[in-house]
C-alpha cells in the first residue's frame, strides 16, 4: 500500500479531463490550483502556434508530461495505415514543439480484421516512427486498453501483451503507460508492473475510477474514490516498482464535463489527496 500524497508535486492533468476549457484556460487554471504537470491532448492544439503554447506552459511553471495521443496504427486498408504513420510522425514533431518528452500510443484495432493482424500492424507502426521519435527526444508509451475496446481502439489489452511487444521491439525508447481504468481487473497486474520496471519501461501512470454501474463504454469514467478501482493500492505497486513520476488524472465523463470546470478541478484535487 502507498503513503498518502502530501502535496501536488506529482499531480498531472490530461487536458481531456477538463474538456470544456481551451488549452490557454487549462494552463492558467491548472497552474493556479497547484497542478504541476499537463498531458496535452492534440485536439487542444488545433490552430495554435506551438511555440507560443510552449512559452505559455513554461511561463505557467507547468511541466509537459506527455502528448496524447498517437497510435491507431491498424487498418485493413493499407492507405489508412500509411496515413496513420504520417499522422504519428506529425505527433512526434508536435510533441517536440510543445516540449513533451513522450507520446501516449493508443494502439488501435480494426474490427474488419483478426486481432493478430492488428497486433502485427501496431508493432510495425511503432517501428516506423521510433527512429524519428528518438531523434526528437520523444519516448513512445504503449497504453494497453481495456478488453472492451478490443474492437476498434486497442488490440493490446493487458500489460503483459504490452510488455511482450516492448520485448520484441527491444528499444529503450518504447515503454508502457499503465492506466488503472484499463488494467485494474487483471490479477497479474502487480507482477507485470514489476516486469515493466525491471526493463526500465514504466513511462506513465494514469488514474480515474470505474463507476458501478457504468452507463457508457467511453464517457462514464469516475473520479478516484467514486468507483471500485483500488487506486492507492495500484499506485503502491507502481512505487514499489520504482515509479515516482507524475500521477496523471485522465477522466472522460459527460457528467463531469457538464459541471462547472473550476468545481471539477477542485474535486479532482480533493480526490487526489483522499483516494489516490
The contact set with its own copies (CB under 8 A) reads 111-112, 114-115, 119, 146-148, 150-152, 157, 161, 184-187, 210, 212-214, 217, 227-228, 230, 233
Give 91 or 176: the residue with its C-beta nearer to its own copies.
176
> What CA–CA distance (Å, rounded) separates 141 from 118?
17
> What CA–CA distance (Å, rounded) separates 165 from 162?
5
Rounded least distance, CB 214 to its own copies, Å: 6
Other C-beta atoms closer than 10 Å to the C-beta of 211 total: 18
> What CA–CA distance (Å, rounded) separates 204 from 226?
22
Mode of pairing for the β-strands spanning 102-106 and 63-71: parallel
Q: Return left, alpha or beta for 225; rule: phi > 0 is left, psi -120 to 50 is alpha, else beta.
A: left
Give 63 or 117: the residue with its C-beta nearer to its own copies.
117
Rounded least distance, CB 135 to its own copies, Å: 32
Rounded least distance, CB 249 to its own copies, Å: 20
Give 40 or 142: the residue with its C-beta nearer to its own copies.
142
Give 13 or 162: the residue with its C-beta nearer to its own copies.
162
Instruction: Give CA torsion, residues 88, 189, 119, 174, to 10 deg.
Output: 40
Rounded least distance, CB 208 to its own copies, Å: 14
Rounded least distance, CB 12 to its own copies, Å: 26
> What CA–CA distance (Å, rounded) separates 52 from 244?
30
Give 36 or 206: the residue with its C-beta nearer to its own copies.
206
Rounded least distance, CB 247 to its own copies, Å: 21
Rounded least distance, CB 153 to its own copies, Å: 10
Give 53 or 155: the residue with its C-beta nearer to its own copies.
155
Give 47 or 187: the residue with its C-beta nearer to its own copies.
187
Rounded least distance, CB 141 to its own copies, Å: 20
Amino acid at each position: 500500500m502507498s503513503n498518502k500524497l502530501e502535496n501536488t508535486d506529482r499531480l498531472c492533468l490530461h487536458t481531456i479531463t477538463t474538456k470544456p476549457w481551451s488549452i490557454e484556460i487549462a494552463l492558467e487554471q491548472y497552474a493556479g490550483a497547484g497542478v504541476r504537470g499537463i498531458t496535452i491532448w492534440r485536439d487542444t492544439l488545433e490552430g495554435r502556434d506551438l511555440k507560443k503554447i510552449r512559452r505559455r506552459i513554461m511561463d505557467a511553471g507547468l511541466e509537459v508530461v506527455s502528448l496524447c495521443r498517437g497510435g491507431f496504427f491498424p487498418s485493413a486498408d493499407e492507405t489508412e495505415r500509411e496515413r496513420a504513420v504520417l499522422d504519428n510522425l506529425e505527433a512526434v514533431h508536435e510533441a517536440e514543439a510543445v516540449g513533451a518528452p513522450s507520446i501516449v500510443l493508443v494502439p488501435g484495432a480494426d474490427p474488419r480484421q483478426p486481432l493478430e493482424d492488428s497486433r502485427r500492424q501496431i508493432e510495425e507502426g511503432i517501428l516506423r516512427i521510433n527512429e524519428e521519435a528518438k531523434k526528437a527526444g520523444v519516448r513512445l508509451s504503449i497504453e494497453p486498453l481495456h478488453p472492451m475496446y478490443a474492437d476498434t481502439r486497442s488490440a493490446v489489452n493487458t500489460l503483459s501483451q504490452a510488455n511482450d511487444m516492448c520485448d520484441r521491439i527491444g528499444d529503450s525508447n518504447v515503454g508502457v503507460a499503465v492506466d488503472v481504468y484499463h488494467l485494474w481487473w487483471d490479477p497479474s497486474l502487480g507482477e507485470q508492473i514489476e516486469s515493466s520496471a525491471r526493463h526500465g519501461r514504466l513511462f506513465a501512470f494514469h488514474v480515474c475510477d470505474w463507476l458501478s454501474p457504468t452507463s457508457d463504454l467511453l464517457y462514464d469514467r469516475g473520479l478516484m474514490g467514486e468507483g471500485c478501482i483500488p487506486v492507492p493500492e495500484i499506485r503502491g505497486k507502481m512505487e514499489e516498482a520504482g515509479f515516482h513520476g507524475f500521477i496523471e488524472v485522465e477522466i472522460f465523463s459527460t457528467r463531469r464535463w457538464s459541471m462547472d470546470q473550476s468545481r471539477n478541478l477542485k474535486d479532482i484535487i480533493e480526490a487526489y489527496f483522499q483516494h489516490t
